[in-house]
Structure 1
C-alpha cells in the first residue's frame, strides 16, 4: 500500500476542526472594505489546503485596546467575522448551533464559530455575554495571561486564585445560553474551580500536556481527566515552546496528542493549533516580532493551516487506527459543538 496516499486520503476524507486561529486579528487590521476579500485571498486558500472544515475564530483584544477600547474592538472583530462570512457565502458560514454547523459541512462550506478569548470587553458586566451571544459568539474564556474582573490567567498562577463572584456568574450564564466555556489560558486554580461548578461540557481550545512540558499554559493530567469526565474536549496546542524546550518537531506534537488520549480517552482530544506566524507577520511592523515573544520557533511545515495534513501523516506513521485519527482531527469537536452550541440550559 502507498503509505502517502493512505494518510492523504484519510485526511481528505475526515472532518478537520481547528479550535484556535487568530486570523481575525489580521482581518480587522485591514481597511474595512478589504475584510472579506483579504480573508478570501490570504486565508481561505490555506484553510482549503489544510482540509479545514470547522474553524473557531477567537476574538482576541491586544493590550493597546485594553481597557478603554476593549469592547469597541470586540465589536469590530465580531463585525469583521460577519462581513467576511457574508462576503464569502459560497465558501464559509458563521454557525450558531448544531443545525447550522451540519448545514455548512453538508454543503462543503467551512463552518466558522465565534469565540471570545479572555473577554476583556465584558469586564464584570456579565449581561454583556448575552449581547455577544446574540451577535453569534458561542465559545468564551475569562482570562488570558493576566488578571481580569472574572478570573486570573495562567501567568498569574502564583496567586492561587479561583474565579471571582462575577466569574462564577459568567459560567452559569454561559451554560444557560449554550455558550461553551474555554479553559485555555485560565489559571490552574481557576481551571479546577470551573471543573467543580460546571454542569455542561467544557473545552480547552489550545492547551497541551503539562506532564510532557512543565509550562503554565499546559494542563495537568487531573485537569485533562476532569474535562473528559464532563464530556468536553482538550485540543492540543501546536505552539512549539509549549511542546518541548528545544525539540520543536511534529513528533513532539504527536507525543502530546498521545498523552492526552491516554489520560482523557480517544473521544476527548482535538487540534488547537494556535497558528501565529502569519498573524504576527500581518499585524506587526516588518522590523520585528512582538516584544513579549522574541524569536519564535515553529514546527517545520506547521507554520500555518496548510500544513495540517502533516499531522495525519505522523499519526498514521505512528500506527494510529484510522477511526482514531478521524476523531482527533475533528469528529470529537464536531460532536461537542453539534450537541452544545446554542442549546439553552
Structure 2
C-alpha cells in the first residue's frame, strides 16, 4: 500500500458493522474473556484500522430455543466484561456522541447489536431490557422463521412481519435502536420499508443484481433503504459475491460496493465484512467444548480478507477502481457514522 493509500485508511473513520467475534470470545470461560479479546482480536482490529466495531449477539442453534435468552444475556455480559477489561483500548458506546468521544481518546467504539433476537421471541417488552443493557442495533430474523418475521431462507412464504414484528419495529424506533434488515425475508424487508419512520441499516448484505442469492438485496430494496436515509453495508463472504466462491477476489467485493453506490448513492454504502472464517477457526475444537466447527471452508473468505487485518486492502482496491478519496472515506465508515450520529440512541420521535 502506498503512503497515500495508507494515509486515507488511517485518517478515515473505519466502521465494521458486522463481526461475530463475541461468539468466539464468549465460548471461553468468563475469566478469559477480556484477555482473549486483547490477545486474539484487539491486534487484528488495530492492524485493520477499525475505529467503530458493531458487535452482534448471534445465538448458535445449540442454544435454541430453551437456552437462547440465557446465552443472549451471557454474550451481552461478555461484551461489557471485555470492554471493562480493555478500557484503555475500547469503549461500549450508546450514541453518536459517545462514539465521537471514544474516537477522540484513541479508543475503538463498540456498538452492541442483536441478530434475530431468538431469546426474546414475541416478548417485545424485552427489547427495552436489552436496550438498557446497551444494545443499539437489531434484526428480527435470521435464515428461518421467528415469532417476529421470516428470514430470507423462507422467501417462498412471501410473508411480512407478524403483528409482534410490527410492534418490535415501533418499539425499536421509540427507543432509538436502529433496525437491521439483513437476513430478513424479501417481503419482510418491503414491509419494514413501508412502515419505518426512521432510517434502517443492512449490516451485512450484498447486491442481488450481481449475485442472485436470497441473502442479498435487490436494486429496488437498495433504493428504498437509501430513500429513507439508511445505509447498506456490503458483506465480504465469497458465497454472497459470486457463484464460484472458490474464485472470489477483492474485485468481486468492490463490484458489489460499486453497484450499491451506483443504485443507492455514494452516501448510502458501507462495509459489513462478516468475517466468519476467522470466528469459526477460533471455535474449532479442541479450543472450545460444545462447538463442532470441524471443517472450515477456506473458500468462504476472499484471500487477504479472512479477518480485520485485511481491511486496508479494501481501501487500496477502491482507489485502484477509481473511487476518490472523499468517496472512500464515506464508504469505509463515514456513511455509517452519519447514520449513527443522527439516530443511535435518539429515541422518543
TM-score, with structure 2 as normaliser: 0.96
Output the CA distance in 1 between the equivalents of 2:294 and 2:3: 42
Counterpart in the other structure of 1:70: 68
Alignment of 1:234-273 (within 5 A): 234-246=232-244, 247-273=247-273
- Aligned-pair distance for 1:98? 1.4
* Structure 1 runs not aligned, ≥5 long: none
Match of 1:301 among 301, 304, 319: 304
- Aligned-pair distance for 1:323? 0.1
- Aligned-pair distance for 1:292? 10
- Aligned-pair distance for 1:149? 0.2
Alignment pair present for 1:144 and 2:147 = no
Output the CA distance in 2 between the equivalents of 1:18 and 1:295: 21
Counterpart in the other structure of 2:220: 222
Counterpart in the other structure of 2:30: 32
Output the CA distance in 1 between the equivalents of 2:137 and 2:52: 14
Counterpart in the other structure of 1:314: 317
Change (3 A) 1:101 1:65: same
Output the CA distance in 2 between the equivalents of 1:234 and 1:210: 12
Contact 2:179 2:200 in 1 (8 A): yes
Contact 1:289 1:295 in 2 (8 A): no
Change (3 A) 1:291 1:87: closer
Contact 2:121 2:148 in 1 (8 A): yes
- Cα deviation per residue 1:203-246 (whole Å; 9 max; x = unaligned)? 00000000000000000000011100110000000000100012
Change (3 A) 1:226 1:291: farther
Alignment pair present for 1:179 and 2:182 = no
Output the CA distance in 2 between the equivalents of 1:296 and 1:23: 19
Output the CA distance in 1 between the equivalents of 2:312 and 2:77: 31
Match of 2:338 among 331, 335, 339: 335
Match of 1:111 among 109, 112, 116: 109
Output the CA distance in 2 between the equivalents of 1:96 and 1:66: 28
Stretch moving more, 106-115 or 285-294 = 285-294
- Aligned-pair distance for 1:289? 7.0
Change (3 A) 1:275 1:112: same
Alignment of 1:73-84 (within 5 A): 73-84=71-82
Output the CA distance in 2 between the equivalents of 1:308 and 1:101: 20
- Aligned-pair distance for 1:4? 1.6
- Aligned-pair distance for 1:255? 0.1
Counterpart in the other structure of 2:127: 129
SS of the residue corresponding to residue 300 of structure 2 reads: coil
* Structure 2 runs not aligned, ≥5 long: none
Contact 1:142 1:186 in 2 (8 A): yes
Output the CA distance in 2 between the equivalents of 1:223 and 1:293: 32
Contact 1:8 1:309 in 2 (8 A): yes
Aligned residues: 343
**What is the aligned-residue RMSD (CA, Å)?**
1.5
Counterpart in the other structure of 1:92: 90
TM-score, with structure 1 as normaliser: 0.97
